[in-house]
Each structure stands twice: as C-alpha cells, then as structure tokens.
Chain A
Amino acid sequence: MTKTVSMLATAAAALALAASGAQAQEKLKVGLIATLSGPPAVLGQQIRNGFQLAVKQKGGKLGGREVEVLVQDDELKPDIAVGKVKAMVERDKVDFVVGPVFSNILQAIVKPVTEGGTILISPNAGTSNYAGRDCNPNLFITSYQNDQMHEISGKYAQDSGMKTAFIMAPNYQAGKDSLAGFKRYFKGEILDEVYVPLNQLDYSAELSKIAAAKPQVVFVFLPGGMGVNFVKQYRQAGLADTIPVYSTFTVDESTLPAQQDAALGFFAGSNWAPNLDNPQNKAFVAAYEQEFGAVPATYAFQAYDAALLIDSALTATKGDTKDRDALRAALKKADFVSLRGSFKYNTNNYPIQDFYLTKVAKRPDGKYQTEIVRKVFDDYADPYVKDCKMK
C-alpha cells in the first residue's frame, strides 16, 4: 500500500516537474503578508491596495512577467506570520515576499523568508537592528528606518526654538525608541515623559497633566486607535488651540477619517504626503482614490514603491529570478521613479531620502489629508548603517 502511494507520489512529482519545465516563463509569485484583521487592519489594507494598484497599472505584470500575488493576513501575531511565510516560501515557492506592517512581525519573518534566498521587501517596518548589525542582503526596505520618523519632530522643535516639551508614547519597545528618537535632536527641557499602557483608550489623566505642565510643544507617538482617541480628547480638552502637537503615526490618512476636524492643525513627521508635488505622485493619489475611495497613507505609497522596485529589478534581469546575485544588485540600484522623488539605497538596503514636517488639512472636497509644511532632512541616511558589514 505504502509502496503504491509513494510510487504515485513520485509519478505525480515528475509530471509536475515536467509541466513546469514546459512553460516558457512561469508566473512570478509574490507573497504579500500584512495585518488584515483586528483594529490595525486598515494599515494592512492600504499596503495590499497600494501594491495591487501598481500591479494593475503595469497590466498585471512586473518586469514583463505575469504576476500572481498571494495575500495573507499575519493577524499581528508573530507565530502566525512565521507559519504563513514558511508556507509561501516552501509550498508556493514565491520569489518575493512583501510585508509586513509591524516591526515585531518583521523581526519574526526576516530569517524564515531570507535564509533560503527569497527576497523580503518591507513596505513599512524598518527596525534599527536590520539597518545595523543584522543587515541582510535579501532584505530591502521601501519605507524608512523607524527612528527617522520620530527625529523629524525633535529636529523641527529644536530648529523652531521650542524650549519645553511634554512627550508621550505607549509603554513598549517601539514607544521607548520613539521618545529616544525625539530627544536625539531636541535639546530643550523635557517637562514630563509619560508611558501609557499599549492600547489605552482614555487619556483624561494625561491631558490634565499636559494642561498643568503648560509645555510649548507636545510630542506623541500613539499609533492607530490610540491616536484617534487622543486627538479627539485633546481637542475636547481645549488644548488644541494653545499647545501644538507634533507626532508620528498618530495623524495620517488611515486615522483621519475617524479624527476629522479634531485633527486639523496637528503636525506629523513623514517621508511623503499625498500632496507631495511631483507628477507620478499626483497620478498615484488620483488613481488610488478612484479605485479604493480613500486617501492613501504612507503605507499605500510605500507598497506601491515596493512593486515598482520589483518591476525595475526584473526589467534589468529580463525577468530572471534564478541568478540571485544579479537580482540583488538590480534591486539595490533602485532604478525606478519613486513617488517620493529622491530615493536611493544605502549599503544596508535602507533608503536615503528626504523627510518632511506635515500638517493635517481639509481638502476642498471635504476629505482630510496631511500636507507638507517644510523639508526637515535632506537625503537623510540612518545612523545605524555604520554597524552594517554589507558593501
């Protein structure tokens, strides 16, 4: 019995091999992993939409090859993410994995994806370890190194002569990194540094402290639903008209539909905004809004760029993914027109790019978006690259 089964299996495998050999150029398989359930699902949807929009605009092809995108939900659970990317790499034999949204998921999936030579492109998470000592030839980032987004606010507060600040973040690693990033450039007095439990909803106690401390500027990193609540309550407490708020991932196009007027005038640090003035970006924002009925956020544009990156590399290798060295070299050239304009890869495969201070505004059509106020960093590289041994 077992013998027959194994014989059948061998025969089937042989047939499958023959079939795949017979195809001249098979479909390019791209695995896309993002958080698509739970409260942060909006972010994952932006990544999926941004990537698929690019593929659609390229006629379903990247670098001239038909593309099949396998979308998976990581549920924001590292163990689930590892299981799903392993299936993509081992069972589905994908050439690229694009994802994830969150840093802790990135930490979990880098090894299982890249150890066999599959290329991982992160359209959002960019932790410090992979920029420095753990830098990886098969990992490419189309977003930023996380610290940089927080540094923008600190740098701008310092440059504009602010003397006192009140800073707040959730009590976990990314929250601590965020406040450290702010303090790297801000040299004024920190009146208070508050860590709130992750996913705290009501900020009444902290808002009272801010009102009593009377800082010149408030800096917060309160992603997703936390930011929605904080911004509404900050406005209700009457603070929004007196103390400016600088932020990261607290007011963006994924949260603005819920924050609406309450967020008007809030500042954020970013590498892009929907109104960034270049023709490719204008076309992208218009196409995205038409297709999905929402204003794209950074997540969507970075995923769109990830697709352009793959397209550029495959065009250079004429669709070949077997020669990994050539593929990696082509990716590293980043020979595509990024929506953010200036973009090139550093030796650690993290982008060197410009960063802006943005501000929430209401458009004439009633929708909300962040808009660029001024450039804060020019061709800015992260500091961790010195610990990376790649050339």
Chain B
Amino acid sequence: MSTTLLIVQILNGLQLGVLLFLIAAGLTLVFGVMDFINLAHGVQYMLGAYLAVAFYGLTGSFFAALVLALAAALVFGLLLEVLVFRHLYGRDHLDHVIATFGIILFLNSAVKLVWGAAPLSLPVPEALSGSVALAPGLLYPVWRLVIIGSGLAVALLLYVLVSRTRIGMLVRAGATNAEMVGALGVDIRRLFSLVFGFGAMLAGFAGIMIAPILSVEPGMGDTILILAFVVIVIGGIGSIRGAFVAALLIGLVDTLGRSFSVDILRLFMASSTARTVGPALASMLIYLLMAVVLYVRPTGLFPAKGR
C-alpha cells in the first residue's frame, strides 16, 4: 500500500513540477535573453485562467476556450511588452521590479473590477473529468494526468524549438550576448517581443490548465511566482533545460516533503512534536534545497553559457 501511495505522490509532484516549468520557462527566457526581471509573469498566469473562464462562458467548450485564451494571452503579452516593458530594457533591475510590481497591483485590481473578488471556477472537460484507479481504491484524476502529459509535450516542443530551429538559435545567442547578436544584423527588438509574447502565452497556458483544479481568483499568480523564481535560480537563469530539471525537482521535493515529513520525523521523535515540526520543515524544504544548490553551484544547475 505504501508503495502505491509513494507512486501517487510522485505523480502529484510531477504535476506540480510541470506546472512550475510552464511558468518558469517564460520567466527564465525573459530574464536570460533580455536581462529583464518580470514580476508580472504571475499575473499573466492568472490572466490565462480568467480568460479561459470568460471564453468558456461565451463558447461553452473547454477546447475553444483554450485556443481563444491562448491567443488572447499572447496578444496581451505582446501588448504589455510594447506599452510598458520595451521602455525599461536599458534600465536598472530595480526599475524593472518596481514597474512590474506596479503591473501586478494594477492587473489584480483590474481583474477584481471586471470579474469581482469572489473565486470563479472552470469545469473539467467532460471527456477528461473522471478518475482512473491506479490501485484498488486509489483513484487518480484524469485531468492531473493530462496536465502532466501536456506539460511534458510543451517541454519537448520547447527543446526542439530552442535547439533545432533558427529562432531557437537566435534566442540562445541572445541569452549569451544580446548586443553581439544585434550587431550581427538581427532585429533584436522583434526577437525580444517574440520571446516575451511566447513566455506570456506559456504562463497563460499554465493558468488555463490549472483553472479546472484551482479556484480562479485575484492574486492567484503571486504565490506561484515565488516558486517560479526559486525554480529559475536553481536551474540557472536563462536555461530552459535547467528550468525543466529544477521545476520537476521542486515539485517532487515539495510534494514528497508535505506527504511524508511527519511520518519520517515520527521515527525519531514523539508523534505530537513531529506534527508540529513536520509541516514547518516541509514548507522550508525547497528553500533549503535552493540554499544548498547555490552553495555548491552559485550559477545554478545548468547555467546558460557565457554569463
């Protein structure tokens, strides 16, 4: 029985991991290629979820909502880039932080104004709403498996895009030395917009996929953003591969820590103490992991070359 529980918890960890990857991928690209800290990446995740709810309301079909919300998230990301972020690239990191934090406040309030403060929900598509029995009596929701599958598919797609295509080559080159790429005659501005829009769309995709599981509410992107930053720091800023490995690592460590910390501590201490220490330790684990990784490899697990 405990082996099945372990397997289920590993699946849960993978699911959190791929979700984090979808968000961190855009964040690390933007940070790596443009040297731009985008705190507003979390609200783009939130916006994806809200757009999906809105389009679902209009069309009544999850898949139509998915496509429309993805397109809208892309357009919105490009719009933000043109209106706000473009004017900040040359500036100090602190300016990035302040401006994008302002966007968080603005969009959280805007969302509340349009859709209200109460949480909204998006139903799971009918065909994928059941659960499968992984072991007798141990059911696992199909939708979570879909999230894992689609996340892995996106990871593969990104891998091919980045390492096998011309655009990907430019992105990698941009991450190493943006000025030189510009000097070689590449329209770096357009490349930046493209990367930014794509990153926003990925975050939006994460928001859409998670909306049937989590409540859609203002501020939902803020907590996940912190985790996404931990992921890109551990993985190495600018590295998609690093983001992928680190996201899965964080997902697994966090989930397994939450599931088994109390049981493991119980082997060493009294049950009531374990109950107090366990949850506290579990919520610290990923930050401990980050500290250890930074100590051993200060630039992260897979640093983008040349930084």
Contacts and interface: CB of A to CB of B under 8 A. Distances in A.
A390 B79 CA distance: 63
A241 to B, nearest CB: 10
Interface stretch (B28-36, B137-145, B240-248): B137-145
Contacts of A204: 12, 15-16, 144, 255
Contact of A208 (B12, B212, B280): B12
Given A211-B138, A212-B1, A212-B138, A202 B214 contact: yes
Interface in B233-274: 255, 258-259, 262
User: Which of A238, A255, A262 is most buried by chain B, counting CB atoms within 10 A of its CB?
Assistant: A238
A238 B141 contact: yes
Given A196-B279, A229-B214, A238 B12 contact: no
Interface string A205-225: 110110110100000000011
A262 B131 CA distance: 14
A258 interface: yes
B117 A228 contact: no
Contacts of A229: 213-215
B255 A238 contact: no
Interface in A21-39: 37-39
Contacts of A238: 130-131, 139, 141
A343 interface: no
A260 interface: yes
Contacts of B141: 233, 236-238
Contact of B121 (A202, A206, A258): A258
A225 B15 contact: no
Contacts of B218: 38-39
B215 A197 contact: no
A239 to B, nearest CB: 8
Contacts of A187: none
Contacts of B144: 204, 236
B16 A202 contact: yes
Interface residues of A, number: 40
Interface in B169-197: none
Contacts of A214: 137
Given A199-B223, A205-B12, A232 B118 contact: no
A237 B275 contact: no
B285 to A, nearest CB: 12
A265 interface: no
B120 A258 contact: yes
Nearest to A197: B283
A197 B118 contact: no
Interface residues of B, number: 43
A287 interface: no
Given A42-B117, A204-B12, A211 B279 contact: no
Contact of B137 (A45, A211, A254, A259): A211
B9 interface: yes
A237 B131 contact: yes
B230 interface: no
A185 B197 CA distance: 56
B119 interface: yes
B279 A197 contact: yes
B5 interface: yes
A327 B220 CA distance: 45
A211 B121 CA distance: 24
A232 B121 contact: yes
A319 interface: no
A228 B121 contact: yes
Contacts of A232: 121, 212-215
A171 interface: yes
A255 B120 CA distance: 9
A17 to B, nearest CB: 42
B279 A257 contact: no
Contacts of A257: 118
Contacts of A45: 117
Interface in B208-223: 212-215, 217-220, 223
Interface of B: 1-2, 4-5, 8-9, 12, 15-16, 112, 117-121, 124, 129-131, 137-141, 143-144, 212-215, 217-220, 223, 255, 258-259, 262, 275, 279-280, 283
12 contacts: A39-B117, A42-B117, A42-B118, A171-B280, A195-B279, A201-B223, A229-B214, A232-B214, A232-B215, A237-B139, A258-B120, A258-B121
Interface of A: 37-39, 41-42, 45, 171, 193-197, 199, 201-202, 204-206, 208-209, 211-212, 214, 224-225, 228-229, 232-233, 236-239, 254-255, 257-260, 262
Given A211-B8, A255-B119, 4 more contacts: A45-B117, A201-B214, A205-B255, A259-B121
In order of increasing CB-CB distance, the 5 nearest A-B pairs are A228-B215, A41-B117, A204-B12, A238-B139, A258-B119
